Amino acid sequence: MSTVFLAAAIALLLLILLSLIRVVGGPTVLDRIVGVNVIGTKTTIVLLLIGLLYGQVGMFVDIAIAYALLNFIATLGATKFFLRRKSVHLQDELIKEKEAA
């Protein structure tokens, strides 16, 4: 059964690498934020699989929950920051359009 968990962990690590390509080459900032969030979610699952492999699920569940909460808070913060920054740029563009008219 441990080979199944190990294979699943390796598959998830490969999927994390694919998500990393999306983060590096994402067309927009929000696509990159979603990519980082996907990587964080998959990392949480990999942590749980490592806990199953080592037979210490309790310890790794605590670590995975803490990591998932940190990932969630970081994603919310980054999204709020970039959306606020985008609205500031939109307001600047509207002011420039009014001045030009």
Q: Over the stretch 20-36, which tens digit does the pLDDT of each residue have?
A: 998 998 788 888 888 99
> Coil, strand, or helix at residue 21?
helix
List the alpha helices (DSSP H) in the chain. Answer: 2-25, 29-54, 57-100
pLDDT of residue 99: 75
Percent of the chain residues past pLDDT 90, beyond the cut: 60
